Structure formats: C-alpha cells, structure tokens
Structure 1
C-alpha cells in the first residue's frame, strides 16, 4: 500500500511565504495611487485576508477533500469535473506566466545571448523533475530557500539604509490620493495578484500531516508576508520617488542599481535576480503541481501520467505573447480581471452550496 504524502505545518508556512513573495517585490503594485501605493497594497492584503478566511472555512467544512473533490461533490460529477478541468487550465496558465517571467528575467539580467527558449525549457524541466519526485520534495525546497531569500532581502535593505538611499518622506503626504482611488487601485488588481492566488492552497491543505486544517499556520504566514510585501512596496517609492517608481517596468531592479556606486560590491542586480528566480520557480512549480494534482484527481490516473503533458502545455503556451511588454501588459491588465472568477466567485458559490446543504441537513435532522 502506497504511503500517503504529507507535509508539516512549518513546511506549509514556508511555502505560503515563498509562494506569495514570488515576483511581487519586482513591481510597484498600486502605482496609480503614487506615494499611497503602500496603502493600496495594505487594502489589497486586508481584502485578501478576508478571502483567505473564506478559503479556510470552506476547507474546514471538507477537511479531507481538495478543491477538485469539493467541486464534484457540490456541483455534481459532470459540472464539477468541467469546472475542475477549467481550474487545471487556470493553474497551468498561471504557471506559464511565471515561466515566461523567468525566461525574460534571465535574458534581461544574466544571459542576454542565450536563447530564451532554452532557459525556459530548463526551468520547466526542473519543476517537472521535482513534481515527478513527489510532494515531500516540493515542500522541502522552501525550508532551504526561504531563509536564503529573506537574508538577501535583508542585506539589500541594510545597504540601502547605510548608503542613505531610503527617504520615507517621499511617501508623504499620506492619503494624497482619495480613499476611492486607493480602494479602486487595490480591488480587484492587488487582491488578484498576489493575495488571491492563495486559492491554490485548497489543493494543498489536505496534505497536512495532522487532522483538520492548518488555520493558525496559514494565517500567521499570510500576515507576516503581507507586512513584508507592503514594506517592499513602500521601499520602491522611498528610494525612487513615486514618479520614477510608477513608470519603471521593474522598479526593484532600478532600486538595487542605485547602489552601483559602491566600491566594494558590484552587480547587486544579480543578487536580486537570484532571489526572484527562487520565488518565481517555486510559484511556477506549485501552479504546475496543482494542475497535475487536479487532473490526477479528476481522472483517477497516476500523477506521473500527467506530469509530461502538462509540462509540455505550459512550455508551449509561454511563447504565445510576442514580447515582454505584451506579457506584462496582459498579466497586469486583462488577466487580473479574469482572476476574481476563480479566486472569489467560484469559492463564494462553494460556500453558498455548503450553507444550503448544512441548512437542509439541519432541517431533516430536526424533522426526524
């Protein structure tokens, strides 16, 4: 009998934190709010926290079922399988976006003469190998990589502070943008990316080694990483100013390049690139894994049966967008408008179905 794959509470905490970091610090999310972008980020994280509570409640009502099992149970075999299949495509699409980010970032910073198709293939094969080896291997990676990533971020922030690059007066005056603008900037875009992407953990919480749902672990990890991301958003503005940060394609890289005049350290942008590689790779791998896990659940085929086809689909789809400008424009534009369907609308329908079933069960018990 095959041993059930399980992960610890600490592994879930580390995975949530590294998954949420991803490429988020690279961009100035909420840039339309200018120096109030950190407030937009705060509103987005608060809305994401409410969404996380909803997801945890849904999971607590079906602690032994992942998202695919819930969909088929509540919406019926046919409709549930159809929605589940669309979710698998959605996870594969999100994985593709991270593959393209990895390829573009490599071409931009480290290997400008190496074909992007080759670097993206290496990243997909790396993820494929980890998924092939199993869940425990995937969840061990953040235990090693997250401390490294946070240490690198700490070094960069420390150097920015020592060199006097940080000027938090650039965040003043607070609430220069009106509250409506800040909330409009945060919803739904910042909720969709990165906070709403916690939807993938409806595929993963059932792997916890203990009975029930890791509520405290998930809430603690989300809170800590939200504070970190809000700070990093403010840091981009504090170094570059709202005008420059708002028009920069990759503001965090620009922030680090302000340290280029240091005589004892050169090419710190490579350090940033390595941090982002780690975050993007984990994010891409987890979306890829959830697509494979979803198809495994829906078809009752072994996991390894789907690893290669899904990997091939992700790799092929990463070439659809013509260039990086189009990739970013679509990813931070139309793509974020579609995300609420998967991150909010369908979970709300699931929650409604759970309530209706619970009400009917309570009524039938009362009558009996």
Structure 2
C-alpha cells in the first residue's frame, strides 16, 4: 500500500487477539485426542509460538518491508513476484472460507429462511467498505470489539459455573493414550488453524508507527489469546464430555445451550453467534485486506484499485462448495495439507535466505 497509514502497538495487539479468536472457539480442535484435546491445543500453540518467533525475526531483519518485498528481494524479482501473487490468492482463499463460515453460521442459527447469498454479500460489503477506508479504520475495529467480546465470553463462563455445568472430571484421565495422540492431533492441524495464520502479520507489521516489530505487544497478545483458546477448548469438553464434543458440528453452541435450563434467560446461543460473527468478520476482513495489499505491492497500483475486484472473487468463490459438509471436509482435508507450505515452508526458506545473506555480508 503506497500511502503512509500507521497503526499503534495496542491496535496490533488487539488485532492479533481478535484475529486468532475468529471462529476457533466454535470447534473442538484436536478432537481426536478426546479429553486431551486441550493438551493438543497447548502443543499446537507452542509450535505456533516457535513459528511466530521466526516470523518476528524475519520482520526484524527486514524493517519497513512486507512479505511481498521480502520475497522479491530474496528469491529474485520474477520468482518473488510469482510467489507473492500466489500468496495473494491464498489470502483471498482464506477470506472466502470465512465468508462461507459466516453464511452457514447465519443460516443455522439466526436467519434460516434468508438466502445465504444475501447474508454473505452483506458481510463482504462490510469488509469492502472498511478496507476501502484504509488500514487505520480496519485496525480501529478490534479496539471496540475485543473488550465487548471477551466480556461476554467471561459472562457465559460465569453462568456455566453457577449452573454447575462444568465437570472437570471429564478432562481425566490425562494422556491416557500417551503423548503421541496429543501430538498427532496438534500437528499440523492446530498449528495451521489458527496459530500458523499469523503469517498475515508479515504483511501488516510494516503498518506499525515505528520500524520493525512491536515484540512485547505481539508476544503478550499471542500468549494471552493462546491461553484463552486452550481454556475454551477444555471448557467444551468439561461441559459436554469428550464423546459429545468430539462429534458435535458446533460444540460451543451446544455448550451454551446447556444454559437454557436457567429460567431467567433464553436463546443465549444468539449472543454466542454474534460474538462468532465478529471474530469471523475480522478474520475475513484481514485476509481480504492482505490479499488487496499484496496485489497493490505487486502491481504498483493503489490498493483501492483492487478492493472491488478481489471482493468479487472472494464472494463468487464462496459458492464453490455445494454444502457445509463439503466446506468442512475441504477445510480439514486438502486445505490443511497446503497450509504448511505457506505458513511454514516458505517462511523458513525466507529466513534461511536472510540468514545466509547476512553471513555472507559479514564475512565480506
């Protein structure tokens, strides 16, 4: 992006937290580890943290340069531009997945009679408007939304505790099958989603008002939100039990519906759905923004040139999967197998290139 938009350290921290939440609490990640799924989340977040350190080191060694500029600088102009274009499509694909999640979630919970095409179009247009207004508007949203979202999650947990719905004995026995089932559940699935998606911040750290990376804010935000996601994963199992949580399409919604036994409050699942809307919207918007930003870097044209075309691509491709079952199957199948290439392999090659070039320059 050619303009001089800047965002603060706190805005980046809030964006990391809201981006990582996304739709993650909706699912039981690491469900194959059963009652140890929360341990699989721990392992996935630890591996994701190691990857985050690599990403921060890459950005530290290339201050003021985003992912596209780094690829062209270290892999050559033409190969780097090609890989950058593929990254732009990858970000658009990830945005499309969140658009479809939003549409399916709306149809299942709030607006079953409204065509998904309408609800998904509304979400894409909301994101389009924010991106058109620029990075400062996009990064201002989490400052407002994150505190509200975390408050309502806290309120739900308190209500579940008052009801006595949380049974920690459902988390036992710990590591019944040993360490391998935990690691197999964590790698690569949980690393790819959500922790490996931090790759987008190689496109965003250059927006920081200072050169480099806001290390303290980034690390603290990552650690805090990892602890939150691990807790939410354990909560689903503690309320539903590993068997029910493992087979439920949307275990967190099922967890909250336990609160329907409270006589003074009803339809809390609507509250949860709204929170998930906010998380998914921010995630979709950020991937969309990075896709547009990558195209602007590659073509030298203003980002506004690409906001509408990329929005049309994201919206149109969200209809490629015929139903929610196929959408989830693709997301947890072929998509997860491709993620390590973009989230791990290419960044590691980039880090290696930066390290080798630095050694050669010092020796010269």
TM-score, structure 2 as length reference: 0.99
1:172 is aligned to 172
Name the counterpart of 1:84: 84
Counterpart in 2 of 1:110? 110
Q: CA deviation at 1:211?
A: 2.7
Does residue 251 (structure 1) correspond to residue 251 (structure 2)? The answer is yes
Q: CA deviation at 1:43?
A: 0.2
Matches within 5 A, 1:16-35: 16-35=16-35
Partner Cα distance (1:289, 1:121) in 2: 17
Equivalent-residue separation in structure 1 for 2:198 and 2:276 (angstroms): 19
For residues 329-356 of structure 1, give each alpha carbon's deviation from its aligned partner in whole angstroms, at most 9, with x where no partner exists. 1112221111000000000000110011
- Looking at structure 2, the residues matched to 181 and 165 of structure 1 have their Cα atoms a distance apart, in angstroms, of 27
Deviation, 1:112, is 0.4
Residues in 1 aligned to 2:219 and 2:325: alpha-carbon distance in whole angstroms = 35
Task: Provide the C-alpha distance between the structure 2 equivalents of 1:76 and 1:55, rounded to a whole number of angstroms.
Answer: 20
Measure, in 1, the Cα distance between the counterparts of 2:34 and 2:176. 9
CA contact (8 A) 1:30 1:185 kept: yes
Matched, 1:209 2:209: yes
| Other-structure match for 1:199 | 199
1:263 positional shift: 1.0
Give the drift of 1:91. 0.1
Any idea what SS the aligned residue of 2:213 has?
A: coil
Shift of 1:177: 2.5
Q: Equivalents in 1 of 2:66, 2:177: separation in Å? A: 41
Match of residue 332 from structure 2: 332
Cross-structure match for 2:126: 126
CA shift at 1:212, angstroms? 2.4
Deviates more, 1:97-106 or 1:205-214: 205-214
- Helix, strand or coil: the match of 2:319? coil
How far is 1:3 from its partner? Answer: 5.9
Q: 1: distance between equivalents of 2:294 and 2:177?
A: 42
Corresponding residue number in structure 2 for 1:221: 221
Give the alignment of 1:1-368 within 5 angstroms. Answer: 4-364=4-364
Q: Go from structure 1 to structure 2 and tell me whether the alpha carbon gap of 1:83 and 1:3 turns closer, same or farther (over 3 Å shift).
A: closer
How much does 1:360 deviate?
1.2
Contact 1:98 1:281 in 2 (8 A): yes
2 CA distance for matches of 1:279 and 1:225?
Answer: 13
Aligned partner of residue 177 in structure 1, secondary structure: coil
Encode CA deviations 1:175-212: one digit per residue, 9 max, x unaligned.
11321111111010000000000000000001111232
Q: CA deviation at 1:71?
A: 0.3
Unpaired stretches in structure 1, ≥5 consecutive residues = none
Count of matched residue positions in the alignment of Structure 1 and Structure 2: 363
Please provide the CA RMSD for this pair: 0.8
1: CA distance, partners of 2:144 / 2:256: 24
The alpha-carbon deviation at position 146 of structure 1 amounts to 0.1
User: In structure 1, how many angstroms separate the alpha carbons of the residues matched to 2:281 and 2:13?
Assistant: 17
Deviations 1:207-241 (A, max 9, x none): 11123211111100000000000000000000000
Q: Partners of 1:7 and 1:120 in 2: how far apart?
A: 28
Cα deviation for residue 154 of structure 1 reads 0.6
Q: Give CA-to-partner distance per residue, 1:280-314, whole Å, 9 cap, x none.
A: 00000000000000000010001100000000000
- State the alpha-carbon separation in 1 of the partners of residues 31 and 331 from structure 2: 15
CA–CA distance in structure 1, aligned partners of residues 3 and 38 of structure 2: 45
| Distance (Å, rounded) in 1 between the aligned partners of 2:100 and 2:83 | 26
Q: Distance in 1 between matches of 2:122 and 2:350?
A: 38
